[in-house]
Structures are given as C-alpha cells and as structure tokens.
Amino acid sequence: MRAVVFANGEPNLPGHWADLVAQARWVVAADGGGRHCLRYAVRPQVVIGDLDSLTPAEVERLQAQGARILRYPRRKDETDLELALLWAAQQGADEIAVLGGLGGRWDQTLANLLLVAHPRLQGVRLVFYDGEQRLCPVRGCATLEGQPGDTVSLIPLAGPVEGVTTQGLEYALREGTLPFGVSLGVSNTLTAPRAQVCLRRGLLLCVVIPASAQARIEAEKTPPSHRTA
C-alpha cells in the first residue's frame, strides 16, 4: 500500500503527482508540507511535526478539512519528515512517495535522503521526487523503469556495495563492487524500458533522470550565446 508524504522542501512536483496522491492509501503532511497541500488542494489525513513552519491559520484550515494534527515538541530527536515516514510505515505502507523532500537547505536534504537507510524503514520502498527525477534505495534486487536513454546513477551508501549485477544498462556489471566515496556508478544509461539491479551486500541510492529532464538540465548549463535556435 502506498503513502504520499508532502515535506517542507522545494515543491518541484512530478507531472504525475496527482495520480500518486489519488492512488495513495494515506496522504501525510510533514509540518510545512501542509502548506503545499493547501496550495495544491490536497487533503492530508495527518499533519505531523512541531508545526513551526505553519501559521495557526493554516493549521486550522487543514484541521477543518479533516486532517488529524499530531503535534510534537520543537526539541525532539527526529525531523518532521522522519516522523511522517515512520508514521506511514507503522500504518502498513510498503511504498512511500516523498514530494518536496529536497532543495533549500543542504543539511535537511542530505538528512532526508539518508533516511532510506533508516533501520525501521528497510521494508519500505521510499521514492523521492524532484520534478521528473526520482531517487530510491536499492537493497537485494530492484527493477528500474524508464525509457532508453534515461540516466541512471547507482551511488553506494554506508560503505561499499558488493556483488552488483545489472541488466538493461549501457555499462553492465556482473558481481562487481561499487566502492563507497567513488563516483564509479554515476551516469549510466538505460538501454531498455526496464533494467534490473541486484546486489549481495550493501545499500545503493538509485537516481533515475529521464532523457527529457537531462536535456533541460544541460540546456540550463549552456550560456545563452552558445545555444542553437
């Protein structure tokens, strides 16, 4: 069962975000993510966090829409997003789409992404969206979907990743090792609509960038005087 969590980062939503919400069993706002819900006319079942990023009026609006408010003290050990993810997992979610979980503060962004290694979330498929780009953890085996030409990067987390075997990627691995802190797994390419990544030991952060999004990124990096008509 899927949950969608709106975090308080940059709301760079994917084109199919409304479908993600419509198909979700739970919609959760992590503190300031409630403002994104109000902006996009989404009704969360739960708003969770210390609520320091929402005004009292916004909290009242969300509550009037039927949202349950789970307020925590400001001095706490978990971030608001961590609380939201753990709450969704406790309800039985085995897939969680995170919207607005990136951008703004580097410390928050890095901490958010590293939640894929949270011991209480190991049975949950987390997917962070930044526009059409998506980031997700890979343990064991995973199937990656996209189009030929899409960029795929496999980045080790928490140490080297061993026994990596891939299918459907331009640069194939067979029982290979991706060392931690080395960029060996960056910028591979899908050669089929589906690819498979399997590993024996470790944890990968997989980033999939559609070719269209990659083209826009490259165009933005090119000075206007060097762009072709």
Domain CATH for 207: 3.40.50.10240
Q: Which of 81, 103, 131 is the last residue of a domain?
A: 131
Same domain, 173 and 213: yes
**Structural domain harbouring 107:** 2-131
Q: According to the model, what pLDDT value does residue 221 have?
A: 64
Same domain, 8 and 121: yes
Same domain, 153 and 103: no
Same domain, 42 and 126: yes
Same domain, 206 and 160: yes
Provide the residue type at 63 as one letter. Q
β-pairing verdict for 68-71 and 46-49: parallel
Task: Tally Cβ neighbours within 10 Å of residue 176.
Answer: 16
Same domain, 102 and 171: no
For residue 229, being part of any structural domain is answered with no
Same domain, 86 and 178: no
Same domain, 83 and 167: no
pLDDT digits (tens, 9 = 90+) for 140-173: 999 999 999 999 999 999 899 999 999 999 999 9
Q: According to the model, what pLDDT value does residue 155 have?
A: 97
Same domain, 84 and 38: yes
Q: Which of 83, 112, 131 is the last residue of a domain?
A: 131
Same domain, 126 and 145: no
How many structural domains comprise the chain?
Answer: 2
Q: Which of 107, 131, 155 is the last residue of a domain?
A: 131
Same domain, 90 and 141: no
Q: According to the model, what pLDDT value does residue 184 have?
A: 95
For residue 225, being part of any structural domain is answered with no
Same domain, 17 and 91: yes
Q: According to the model, what pLDDT value does residue 104 have?
A: 75
- Which residue numbers in the chain have pLDDT < 50? 229
Q: According to the model, what pLDDT value does residue 229 have?
A: 46
For residue 228, being part of any structural domain is answered with no
pTM (2 d.p.): 0.90
Q: According to the model, what pLDDT value does residue 158 have?
A: 85
